[in-house]
Amino acid sequence: MASLLTVGAKSLSLLRLPTHNLPPFASRLQIRSMAHSSSAFNKIQIQRDDTTFDAYVVGKDDAPGIVVLQEWWGVDFEIKNHALKISQLGSGYKALIPDLYRGKVGLNVAEAQHLMDGLDWQGAVKDIRASVNWLKANGSQKVGVTGYCMGGALSIASAVLVPEVDAVVAFYGVPSPELADPAKAKKPLQAHFGELDSFVGFSDVTAAKSLEEKLKTSGVPSEVHIYPGRGHAFMNTSPEGIQRRREMGLTDEDEVIVEQAWSHFNTWMSRYLSS
């Protein structure tokens, strides 16, 4: 089932994430404002073109930077968990989360779908570029991009469309061909997928293997990891994240696999972001 997003004058076709086997939600859509930031994060504002957006930063000022891109939920507890974890990996990173939804967060699948459907994807790429440049202007000599689900797709797009990026790690998401063709990636790119991911054409095994072939065509250094027995969003391991996955019918949990993925992530970013 496809939905159409209008980006400027051009329609961008995006697969809707499937909502079968999910609990029912109220028909009236309510978008709540984002909760107060964790005290570990410094809230900043970044200017790009004629707009300003909030971002959340954690980590050492002079460390390599990593832009961390949200799932379709928005800037919520789980993406902050990921950014905090990233800031503490290896010798440390400076992690920055741009608020692509401008303060809105989906608290259930219907809300998240609505927010993702309304996203200006090309505008989001501009936000990513502005975030990368902010990090480079504020102490980070090299900057990577990572993201999850929707953010994973945008991460891959940044490897194609954002020249200032130095390396990318994407989790379970591939951009539509109208947004970015991975065969044209210009930056080292590592990607992670679950073997049992059922989001056809977006993050299932077929999409992962297609991405792998396109990256070979691109000629950039690349790795695609497919984890056996794992479904979508397998990196979400907080109690709240596990509960939300269970409500979506995703019951696979494996801390060993998650730590393996983090190890691959850190090895990749350390290789390409070291000065």
Centroid of chain to Cα 144 = 12
Backbone CA torsion sign across 151, 177, 159, 259: positive
Q: What are the CA-CA distances from residue 116 to residues 109, 131, 223 (Å)?
A: 10, 20, 27
Total structural domains within the chain: 1
Asked, for residue 70, whether it belongs to a domain, the answer is yes
Asked, for residue 203, whether it belongs to a domain, the answer is yes
**Cα–Cα distance measured from residue 69 to residue 132, given in angstroms and rounded to the nearest whole number:** 12
CB 149 within 8 A of CB 203: yes
H/E segment holding residue 213: helix 205-218
Helix, strand, or coil here: 227? strand
**Cα–Cα distance measured from residue 147 to residue 83, given in angstroms and rounded to the nearest whole number:** 10
* CATH classification at residue 39: 3.40.50.1820
pLDDT means per 10 residues, the chain with 275 residues, are 29 40 33 50 96 97 97 97 97 97 95 96 98 97 98 98 98 97 98 96 98 97 97 94 90 92 98 91
Asked, for residue 158, whether it belongs to a domain, the answer is yes
Asked, for residue 17, whether it belongs to a domain, the answer is no
Asked, for residue 9, whether it belongs to a domain, the answer is no
Asked, for residue 75, whether it belongs to a domain, the answer is yes
Structure confidence at residue 38 (pLDDT): 61
Structure confidence at residue 15 (pLDDT): 44
The residue segments making up the domain with residue 141 are 35-273
Structure confidence at residue 254 (pLDDT): 87
Pairing of strands 222-227, 143-148: unpaired
Asked, for residue 27, whether it belongs to a domain, the answer is no
Q: What is the largest CA-CA distance in the chain?
A: 51
Structure confidence at residue 23 (pLDDT): 35
Tokens coding 143: 């900057």
Asked, for residue 224, whether it belongs to a domain, the answer is yes
Q: What is the DSSP string of 248-261?
A: TT-----HHHHHHH
pTM higher than 0.85, yes or no? yes
